[in-house]
Amino acid sequence: MADHLGYDEHNEDDNNTGNSKKHESTSNAIEEQIIGMYAKCMPTRDIEDQLRDIYGIDVSP
pLDDT digits (tens, 9 = 90+) for 1-51: 667 766 666 666 645 555 566 667 778 888 999 999 999 999 999 999 999
Residue 37, domain member (yes or no) = yes
| Domain membership of residue 28 as a residue range | 24-55
Q: Is 33 exposed, middle or buried (0-12, 13-18, 19+ CB in 10 A)?
A: middle
Number of domains in the chain: 1
pLDDT of 55 > 70? The answer is yes
Contact 53, 59 (CB under 8 A): no
Residue 47, domain member (yes or no) = yes
Report helix, strand and coil shares of the chain as percent, to nearest 5.
65, 0, 35
Residue 12, domain member (yes or no) = no
Residue 6, domain member (yes or no) = no
Residue 33, domain member (yes or no) = yes
- The model's pTM is 0.56
